[in-house]
Amino acid sequence: MSQYDSLKVWLDGKMVGYSEATVPILTHSMQYGSGIFEGIRAYPLPDGSAGIFRLSDHMERFVNTARIYGMNLRYTKEELEDAVMEVVAANGLSSCYIRPFAFYNDDRIGLSVKDKKVSVYIAAVPLGNYFSDKNSGIRCRTSSWHRISSSVLPVQAKASGNYLNSIIANSEARRSGFDEAILTSPEGYLAEGPGENIFLVKKGKVLTPGDESDILIGITRDTVMTIARDLGYEVVARQIHREELYIADEAFFCGTAAEITPIVEVDGIRIGQGRPGNVTSRITEALYRAVRGDTVHREWITSVSIAEKVSG
Ligand code: PMP
């Protein structure tokens, strides 16, 4: 029994019950972490429909991740976007987290992916705040584990295996009493959180590690850079020294699941006033307007009608 048993998922072109979407235990992607995935949120729009946020950008990253790994998805980006809309509509979820996942659905032993079947599923589930202290801000530690670099694995690909690096950093942080980890590059520059990009605010400027840093190029990161510029802030994406974080006026994580989560302490050092700052709050408000379609960036929203649930 799972909390999701009443939900429907899209599996290789068909809608099936959540509990029917199962795989053999020896499945390649379960053994070796060879799956690829996306995380997308939908927010309720004023007319009651679901607004899927930046669907096209997420699906572009999904198909690009597949290309990087030479994985034949068998579905086009457009077909997968339609499938996401179908899942949201079928589950009647105007607010949800959507998880497209592609994997080697083959249980023959061996690393080689040659001639192994690729399956794709898309699930949509309700999801509240990723961090319980999202509003008051979280306490982080710099991880003793470095972010994987492109010489080891493609960091710009959203592949399951990359998340072992995230999980070991997050576990270390949690075990030592912090809410989340911050990973640095092997050279010591800031990279990102285990599942979030990082931003700093210093003297009214908004800073984030550049594309050359070992980061997943986040879609929320791009949204934040755009809306911060719309609000009139100077935004700079460049390599950032760890100590710049300690002396920042404000810091925050951003990501689809994490949305915007203020960081109020790092390695026991208080950031700014030790509470969510003004710039962070302004950007957060602008993000919530944007996801509900209340900005000039209407193209970010894909609207899906949700059938009214008949009660009684
Ligand atoms: N970095 C990592 C490692 C992530 O897993 C995520 C979440 N997808 C992000 C950054 C933020 O990316 P996005 O805003 O596209 O969700």
Q: What is the ipTM of this complex?
A: 0.99
CA 272/CA 75 separation, integer angstroms: 48
- Residue 192 β-bridge partners: 183
Q: What is the distance in A from the centroid of ligand 1 to the CA of 219?
A: 7
- pLDDT at residue 131, as a whole number: 92
Decide if 53 contacts 38 (C-beta within 8 A).
Answer: no
Q: What percent of the chain has pLDDT over 90?
A: 95
Cβ(195) to ligand 1 under 6 A? yes
Which mutation among 197, 215, 261 tests ligand 1's pocket best, with the greatest number of atoms within 8 A of CB? 197
Mean pLDDT of 268-273: 97
- pLDDT at residue 1, as a whole number: 86
**Whether the predicted pLDDT of 268 surpasses 80:** yes
pLDDT 10s digits, 201-242 = 999 999 999 999 999 999 999 999 999 999 999 999 999 999
Token pair listed for 196: 């979030």
**Whether the predicted pLDDT of 310 surpasses 90:** no
Q: Look at the alpha carbons of 113, 117, 122, 123 in this order and tell me if their dihedral is positive or negative.
A: negative
- pLDDT at residue 21, as a whole number: 95
- pLDDT at residue 309, as a whole number: 56
- pLDDT at residue 312, as a whole number: 43
Mean of all residue pLDDT scores within the chain:
96
Model confidence at 158, pLDDT cuts 50, 70, 90, reads very high
Which mutation among 41, 98, 216 tests ligand 1's pocket best, with the greatest number of atoms within 8 A of CB? 216
Cβ(105) to ligand 1 under 6 A? no
Cβ(65) to ligand 1 under 6 A? no
CA neighbor of 45 nearest in space, from 311, 307, 289: 289
Mean pLDDT of 159-178: 98
Model confidence at 145, pLDDT cuts 50, 70, 90, reads very high
158 is catalytic: yes
Q: What is the distance in A from the centroid of ligand 1 to the CA of 108?
A: 31
Rg (CA), the chain: 20
Cβ(196) to ligand 1 under 6 A? yes
The arrangement of secondary structure in 8-125, i.e. its CATH architecture, is: 2-Layer Sandwich (3.30)
**Whether the predicted pLDDT of 86 surpasses 50:** yes
CA neighbor of 245 nearest in space, from 267, 221, 225: 267
SS3 string, 175-210, reads: HCCCCEEEEECCCCEEEECCCCEEEEEECCEEEECC
CA 259/CA 276 separation, integer angstroms: 14
B/e letters for 166-185, b = 16+ CB within 10 Å, e = fewer, are bebbbeebeeeebbbbbbbb
- The pTM for the full model equals 0.97
pLDDT 10s digits, 1-24 = 899 999 999 999 999 999 999 999
Q: Whose CA is nearest to atom 10 of ligand 1?
A: 196
Angle CA 21–25–30, to nearest 5: 85
Model confidence at 51, pLDDT cuts 50, 70, 90, reads very high
Least confident of 57-71, 130-144, 199-213, 269-283: 130-144
- What's the CATH fold of domain 138-291? D-amino Acid Aminotransferase; Chain A, domain 2 (3.20.10)
Each domain of the chain, given as residue ranges in start order, spans 8-125, 138-291
Mean pLDDT of 288-292: 96
Spot the catalytic one: 116, 134, 158, 202: 158
Which mutation among 220, 226, 283, 300 tests ligand 1's pocket best, with the greatest number of atoms within 8 A of CB? 220
Mean pLDDT of 246-264: 98
